[in-house]
Structure 1
Amino acid sequence: MRRSLAALFVMCAVPLAAAAQGAPAGKTQVTWYGHAAFVVKTPKGTVLAIDPWFSNPSNKDGKVAPPEKVDFILVTHGHADHVGDAVALAQKTKAKFVGAFELAQALAGAGYPADQATTATAGNMGGTIDLTDEVSVTLVPAVHSSGFKAGNEGAAQYAGNPVGFMIHVKGGPTIYHTGDTAPVSDIQYPAKRWAPVDLMLACIGGHFTMDPTGAALMASWVNPKQLVPMHFGTFPLLKGTPAELQQALQQRGVKTKMVEMKVGETRAF
């Protein structure tokens, strides 16, 4: 009996220990900070911050703190709600910029360390950038605008094409962050080239981007295994909801599993 109890303790302790340490070994961790801000941590420990507006209203009073270690900062376009805290984060962590070349130049002019925002990691749509021996990123089309303005004065400057990111983790998932976009059928080529797409992070708010109906159409082209809605509810104008997305997916016959994340939640893929 004593031996059976000891064995039961070991069986229970293993999953508890794994839970205490976060995601299981070998998994890629994805954390949502609200709006379009995500942090991706790979099995080898590379940390990517995407559209790092960590101080957005959905993360009230910074209740979910940004990571201390960031290796790369991916910014889809120049608007303030996506550039977010990128400059300060880069200064603190020495993270390199990934995104449109013109946006890299604009951010460098606003204080992003120039040696961290170079052509080594900045590019344009269609290009694939090797970040490490484990991680590469393909810049894919987004239909939106991209103007960058440092501070509250003056006119916004041209910040290159808006993009989405197709993130490839060697031996792990392919993650597609749409950025801000309308449904864009050009996504079908990269979606097929890099298939299967394991996770799609899709804007659904409407007004400035596609709404749930548009996101369901995009999902039918990308055919991701799982889809996490983002860029909704931050402001009253962003009216789309995950429930509407789920309904739109069902109406279109898309088999993708929708995963509704909470602010601060981390999931493993």
Structure 2
Amino acid sequence: MLKKLLIVTGFAVTQFFTASTFAKTDITYYGQAGYKIVTPQGHVIMIDPWLTNPKNPKGQEQLNALQKVDLILLTHGHFDHIGNTVEIAKKTGAKLVTNFDLGKVMVEKLGFPKDQFGYPTTGNIGGQIPLLDGEVKVGFTQAIHSSSVGVPLADGTETYYGGTVTGLHIQIKDGPSFYHTGDTDVFKDMELINLFGPVDIMLAAIGDTFTMGPKRAAHAVKLVQPRKMVIPNHFGTFPLLRGTPEQFAGFLKEEGVVTPMRVMQVGETIRVE
């Protein structure tokens, strides 16, 4: 694999060249489980967009700079995944892609714009929906976790059912496919995720305590067998998220995984071609 550094919109961008031919697809990491994907056609997809998390000192600046977002994908209802979803949607008109129960709570309790969520962008485990005139297909995968939505009230926080917890398989036309594990433990049926289509890039939680830690995440990569790279996330944001990329790399080696690990820095963008 060859690589070179580019400068795109102020970020250092690593460009990956492989035997496969993709049009350029950019992915930006915001910390915790939050990403932005810019497709070859220029559409913008946000996943679990908590830009203003404690590990992102430029989060508010990046949030203010967002001008175009087409889709916001949510894996579940916890605050560190909903993040800045409502603010982004109101600013950009982005559609919400998630399960029906979480979307309903987002609209009724958190003020997500009602006309930006509905059946065309709703799915559940095992389903796959075409979006953006077929440019993107989103498949909803199993995840082992919990989901609730906390709504601040004057006397504390009220909690609402957040629907089914999911991972996400995202297929980009003329571009790579992504598997975002969401918050989950490893499970045997990760072997079946490629039925949505082969996974090129796996975005894997490794932090432990609330998700799989580095050892179990390494086994998850072995089950999924992403073709190009695995990018760890959901570590280090809080002290309880003790798993580290260094530990993850060691366990990947123990598992005999040959897929390269790519540790993205908060605020970094890489280009996949």
TM-score of the two chains, using structure 1 as the length reference: 0.89
Residue 131 of structure 1 corresponds to 131
Q: 1:138 corresponds to which letter in structure 2?
A: G
How far apart, CA to CA, are the structure 2 residues paired with 1:154 and 1:20? 41
8 Å CA contact 1:149–1:157 kept in 2: the answer is: yes
8 Å CA contact 1:64–1:264 kept in 2: the answer is: no
How far apart, CA to CA, are the structure 1 residues paired with 2:268 and 2:137? 24
Residue 193 of structure 2 corresponds to 190
- Correspondence 1:58 to 2:82: no
Residue 215 of structure 2 corresponds to 213
Query: What is the CA distance between 1:103 and its match in structure 2?
Result: 0.3
Change (3 A) 1:101 1:245: same
The number of residues matched between the two structures is 253
Deviation by residue 1:190-245 (Cα, 9 ceiling, x = unmatched)? 224411x1100001000000000011111011001300000000000000000000
Q: Percent identity?
A: 43
Residue 12 of structure 1 corresponds to none
Structure 2 unaligned residues grouped into runs of 5+ = 16-21
- Correspondence 1:247 to 2:244: no
8 Å CA contact 2:99–2:122 kept in 1: the answer is: yes
Secondary structure at the aligned position of 2:151 is classed as coil
1:201 to 190, 198, 203: 203
How far apart, CA to CA, are the structure 1 residues paired with 2:7 and 2:51? 25
Query: What is the CA distance between 1:64 and its match in structure 2?
Result: 5.6
Greater strand proportion: 2
How far apart, CA to CA, are the structure 2 residues paired with 1:55 and 1:63? 6
8 Å CA contact 2:169–2:196 kept in 1: the answer is: no
Deviation by residue 1:42-97 (Cα, 9 ceiling, x = unmatched)? 01011001001110001025266032211000110000000001011111111000
How far apart, CA to CA, are the structure 2 residues paired with 1:198 and 1:165? 13
8 Å CA contact 1:23–1:29 kept in 2: the answer is: no
How far apart, CA to CA, are the structure 2 residues paired with 1:240 and 1:20? 31
Secondary structure at the aligned position of 2:179 is classed as strand
2:38 to 16, 38, 41: 41
How far apart, CA to CA, are the structure 2 residues paired with 1:192 and 1:126? 10
TM-score of the two chains, using structure 2 as the length reference: 0.88
Residue 267 of structure 2 corresponds to 264
The answer to which structure, 1 or 2, has the higher relative contact order (CA under 8 A, 6+ apart) is: 2
8 Å CA contact 2:40–2:174 kept in 1: the answer is: no
Residue 84 of structure 1 corresponds to 83
Q: 1:55 corresponds to which letter in structure 2?
A: T
Structure 1 unaligned residues grouped into runs of 5+ = 1-14
Residue 31 of structure 1 corresponds to 28
How far apart, CA to CA, are the structure 1 residues paired with 2:185 and 2:256? 20
Query: What is the CA distance between 1:20 and its match in structure 2?
Result: 4.9
8 Å CA contact 1:103–1:160 kept in 2: the answer is: yes
Residue 151 of structure 2 corresponds to 150
Residue 73 of structure 2 corresponds to 74
